[in-house]
Amino acid sequence: MFVAKFPVPKWLETATQYHFDDHSDCLQIDPLESATMTGARTETSHVLRLYLAGPMRVTDGQGQKLVIRGRKAQALLALTALAPQMHRTRVWLRDKLWSQSDETRSSTSLRQSLFELRRDLGAQAGSALDINADTVGLNPDRVWVDVTEVQRDAALFSRLGLNEDTELLEGFDIGDPEFEDWLQAARFDWTDTAEALAAVRPARLLLSETGRAISDRFCLALMRGVVQGGDEMSHHLSDFLTERIVDNIRELMPVQVIDLRSRTAAIEDLAESAEAEFFCRMRVLCIGRNVTLTFFVYRSSQLAIEWTQSIQCTLEELHHADNLLLQGFVAQNTDRLAKTLLSHIPADSDETIALRAGHTAMNLLFRLDDDALDQAIALLDKAEAANLSGGTAHSLIAGLRAYAASFAVGENLGSLGMDERLRLHDLINTQLEDNPFNAITLACLGHVIGYVFQEHDLAGKVLERAVALNPSQAFAWDHLALHKLYTGDYDTALRHAQRATQLGAFSPISYSYDTTLAMAATLAGDYTRATLAGRSALQKQPRYKAALRYLMVAQSATGQRLAAEETRTRLLHLDPDFADPQVQLLRFGLRDAPVSHPLLRNLKPLME
């Protein structure tokens, strides 16, 4: 008899004890403190466009050329546009443009050049310029600068006709030695940037021509969020949701994330982003008390939006609900983005087997037949043989390998011998210690610890860690609900199962979540909800025997005799052994249950 125990991982010994109720896993957002709404930068809000790569050129937001007549006024624009925050002090500008004049004369000259600049910019001056007693600057939300934008979006480099030989401020000269020193240093920096951006274009062409992935992982680039009518909390919400979607994707497949949201993104990131086929962006639009959240996915090879997904709500709903709204939004976009990424790689390529192994194996496991189970295990073997890189991706492969054992035990497709149990025990121990940061992996391991090895105390801790780590992961909530079922806490199981079905509504395995809800509702005595959930599961997966069993019991309990008999007929066609009373006890896990148990009491009239 196998009696080995799992040692409690160190991270569980020292972890905070998590307690869950209907509100404990929410993102808490304080109400907006100010009623003042300020519009954020969008692609169409620019009133001024500055082209500094090559000969200097200035246009308005519609592309109409603006003529800045004074050379020093042009230099003012260039110096402020290339400042880290688009602002320079008046002292610094005087030193660069009138270094050979005294303070009084240089101050007068600066005021004269600013007057000329305002005059030549005309109607755009009020929105584009930000001038006070100490500094001269540009409004970064209203002014577009080519050399800055190409560092955010590498595809612009070629679209603007730039190359590694394009000179910054070509032919520009004002005859001041301090300005010339600054310009020489700025040109050196720009040359490094231009060479890096030009060097990545062959890789993009190779990807476009062959349609094949050139890396052992997906490359996904994040663009700056767009916030319209919001405040700092809206920016926080945009980043939070984007990062949660990306975290969910990384639990399913190996993804390299290039973060371009910072204005000062490293040039290495900008170069790598040119190899990304998909770019993501979040938009938060606030109009009065109404909010629209939109997630954009762009396909770079087509220079077009691939798809968008939106939800609408009020500020009160956003800030004070239990945030199932936000978590559902994250889960829905995760499932859709996963399908988009998977559709981009060849299905029959050994080179890309590691990219799709986790997502595909999980779906195969839930097809509920011997062949699919064997295919899933073979796929996991190939992924390991392909030397899949470490971290959470490798952890998922190992977690799914352990998880497959529960299918062999659960539907009597086979049994685990002593050697298999020992290997499974060692695999779980290793994964619990090595990488406790993938919620799907932890859910797999926690389920096996409880369901296969019957160590429910440790299983509960691991599963609670999984949902705390990622509250928007339906798979983790579903398996925590199953754990609560196994330990007899039916009301809690019902709450967790409801959350899983809401979060996983768009998952390829949503029928499994519906089935867990049917089980929990049946055992909790909520037969109406059990019937609805069971029917939903069977519409998606008509061969799901667990859904048929619990739907049949719920129909019997609510007096739907004819419907229950029809369900029984379908079940016996798929599982003829269920006619045996001992098999019935085994399937429901009721070998030691009294005959008065509600499941048996409602089952008996149908099976006599």
**What's the pLDDT tens digit per position in 449-494?**
998 888 999 999 999 999 998 888 999 999 999 999 999 999 999 9
Rounded Cα distance between 482 and 511, Å, is 14
Site of tokens 């195969």: 364
% of the chain surpassing 70 pLDDT: 81
Rounded Cα distance between 130 and 126, Å, is 8
Query: Has residue 580 got a pLDDT over 50?
Result: yes
Rg of the chain, C-alpha, whole Å: 31
Q: How many CA atoms lie within 13 A of 338 on its CB side?
A: 25
Site of tokens 């990131």: 269
Report in angstroms the alpha-carbon separations of 284 from 228, 311, 330, 334, 459. Answer: 6, 10, 14, 18, 39
Rounded Cα distance between 74 and 398, Å, is 61
Cβ contact 343:360 at 8 Å: no
57-66, 320-329, 483-492, 546-555: segment of lowest average pLDDT:
320-329
Cβ contact 292:229 at 8 Å: no
Given pLDDT bands bounded at 50, 70 and 90, which one contains residue 146?
A: very high
Rounded Cα distance between 293 and 427, Å, is 41
Report the relative pairing of strands 87-89 and 135-138 from DSSP bridges: antiparallel
Q: Report the pLDDT value the prediction gives residue 213, as an integer from 0 to 100.
A: 39
In the chain the domains, ranked by start, together with CATH numbers, are: 48-140+155-199 (1.10.10.10), 206-343 (3.30.160.180), 348-463 (no CATH), 471-608 (1.25.40.10)
Query: Has residue 438 got a pLDDT over 90?
Result: no
Q: Report the pLDDT value the prediction gives residue 416, as an integer from 0 to 100.
A: 67
% of the chain surpassing 90 pLDDT: 37
Please state whether 560 falls in left (phi above 0), alpha (psi between -120 and 50) or beta. Answer: beta
Q: Report the pLDDT value the prediction gives residue 465, as an integer from 0 to 100.
A: 92
CA angle, 586 then 588 then 590, to 5°: 70
Among 454, 354, 477, 467, which residue's Cα sits nearest to residue 406? Answer: 454
Report in angstroms the alpha-carbon separations of 279 from 220, 294, 306, 503. Answer: 6, 14, 9, 24
User: How far out from the chain centre does Cα 461 lie?
Assistant: 25
Rounded Cα distance between 86 and 224, Å, is 18
Site of tokens 């032919």: 171
More confident residue, 64 or 383: 64
Question: What are 570's two structure tokens?
Answer: 């379908």
When mean pLDDT is compared over 12-16, 298-302, 349-353, 486-490, the highest value belongs to 486-490
Question: Could you write out the DSSP letters of every residue in 350-397?
Answer: GGGHHHHHHHHHHHHHTT-SHHHHHHHHHHHHHHHHTT--STHHHHHH
When mean pLDDT is compared over 329-333, 349-353, 533-537, 588-592, the highest value belongs to 533-537
DSSP state of 65: B
Per-residue burial over 145-173, b if 16 or more Cβ lie within 10 Å, else e, is bbbbebbbbbbebeeeebeeebebbeebe
Q: Report the pLDDT value the prediction gives residue 39, as an integer from 0 to 100.
A: 34
**What's the pLDDT tens digit per position in 158-173?**
778 888 889 999 989 8
Cβ contact 220:393 at 8 Å: no
Among 239, 228, 223, which residue's Cα sits nearest to residue 151? Answer: 223
143-152, 532-541, 546-555, 581-590: segment of lowest average pLDDT:
581-590
Cβ contact 379:360 at 8 Å: yes
Rounded Cα distance between 10 and 7, Å, is 9
Query: Has residue 241 got a pLDDT over 80?
Result: yes
Q: Report the pLDDT value the prediction gives residue 2, as an integer from 0 to 100.
A: 53
For all residues of the chain together, what is the average pLDDT?
81
Query: Has residue 413 got a pLDDT over 50?
Result: no
35-49, 236-250, 591-605: segment of lowest average pLDDT:
35-49
More confident residue, 305 or 16: 305
More confident residue, 271 or 540: 540
**What's the pLDDT tens digit per position in 330-388?**
989 998 998 888 877 665 555 566 667 777 788 778 776 667 778 888 878 777 766 54
Given pLDDT bands bounded at 50, 70 and 90, which one contains residue 550?
A: very high
Q: Report the pLDDT value the prediction gives residue 414, as an integer from 0 to 100.
A: 47
DSSP state of 348: T
26-40, 188-202, 216-230, 262-276: segment of lowest average pLDDT:
26-40
Query: Has residue 597 got a pLDDT over 90?
Result: no
Among 207, 224, 226, 225, which residue's Cα sits nearest to residue 215? Answer: 207
Question: What are 88's two structure tokens?
Answer: 């320079």
232 Cβ contact partners less than 8 Å away, ≥ 6 residues apart: none
Given pLDDT bands bounded at 50, 70 and 90, which one contains residue 30?
A: very low
Question: Could you write out the DSSP letters of every residue in 292-309?
Answer: EEEEEEEEGGGTEEEEEE
158 Cβ contact partners less than 8 Å away, ≥ 6 residues apart: 201
When mean pLDDT is compared over 36-50, 63-77, 251-265, 336-350, the highest value belongs to 63-77
Report in angstroms the alpha-carbon separations of 600 from 125, 311, 339, 570. Answer: 80, 44, 42, 19
More confident residue, 534 or 151: 534
Q: Report the pLDDT value the prediction gives residue 37, as an integer from 0 to 100.
A: 31
Query: Has residue 3 got a pLDDT over 90?
Result: no
Query: Has residue 566 got a pLDDT over 80?
Result: yes
Question: What are 47's two structure tokens?
Answer: 């009133």
Q: Report the pLDDT value the prediction gives residue 454, as an integer from 0 to 100.
A: 87
